Amino acid sequence: MIITCPCEKKQFEIDDKLIPEKGKLLQCGSCDRKWFFKKTIEVKKKIERISTKTKTNKIPKETEDIIIEAEKNNSKVENLKKINLPILNLLLITLISFAALIIFLDTFKIQINNFVPGFEFLLENFYETLKDFYLFTIDLIK
């Protein structure tokens, strides 16, 4: 810390650890004046500011790397989400469309059967396959 003599002609660079909390008697080398120096609140604040500055200057490089790494991972996860969501949406839409088509075909199966012989049988067969698949899945879960 820099201490200015009351004569204001001389400034001293003194390690602030050398000045105790209760203060210290100092002598100016220029005018030989002696005065009692005590750390004022302002000086204490200045020292605190400097020490926190040096602290934050020391840490950043490591922290920055960690932050960059975390951001990279975050964007990776977000990218995965971006890729996964459309596929899931597409699958859901396909399933719903398929179910709607089946319901539609089931509703008009008698009319369609008139145009496409054996259609009703085909649909029944499809239901059987679906049922088998459903039972198979339940067995798998159990």
By the rule CB under 5 A, 7 interacts with Zn ion = yes
Q: Among residues 4, 11, 30, 56, which is the contact residue for Zn ion, using CB under 5 A?
A: 30
Does position 40 bind Zn ion by CB under 5 A? no
Q: Segment near Zn ion (CB under 5 A), from 1-9, 47-55, 95-103, 127-135?
A: 1-9
Q: How far is the CB of 50 from Zn ion (least distance, A)?
A: 24
Where does 5-59 have alpha helices with state H?
Answer: 41-58
Residue 132 and residue 121: Cα distance in Å, rounded?
16
Cα–Cα dist 124/103, whole Å: 13
**Quick one: 10 or 109, whose CB is closer to Zn ion?**
10
Q: Does the footprint of Zn ion cover residue 26 (CB under 5 A)?
A: no
Verify binding: residue 80, Zn ion, rule CB under 5 A: no
Exposure b/e, 76-107, CB count within 10 A at least 16 = b: eeeeeeeeeeeeeeeeeeeeeeeeeeeeeeee
Closest CA to 16 of 2, 5, 6: 2
The count of chain residues that interact with Zn ion, using the rule CB under 5 A, is 7
> Which residue ranges make up the site for Zn ion (CB under 5 A)?
5, 7, 10, 28, 30-31, 33
